[in-house]
A and B are shown apart, each in its own frame.
Chain A
Amino acid sequence: MNALTLSFTLNGNEVSLHISPNTLLVDLLRDNLRLTGTKAGCRDGECGACTVLLDGTPVNSCILPAAKVQGRSVTTIEGLAHENGQLSEIQEAFIHEGAAQCGFCTPGMIMNSTALLENNPQPDDQEIRQSLSGTLCRCTGYRKIVQAVVTAGEMKKSQG
Chain B
Amino acid sequence: MTAPEVTGDVLVSLGCALIAIAAVGLLRLPDAYNRANAVSKAAALGVVCVLLGALVLVLTPASAVILGLAVILQLLTTPFGAYAAARAAYRSSAPFDAATRNQAPPPPAASAEPEP
Chains A and B form a bound pair = no
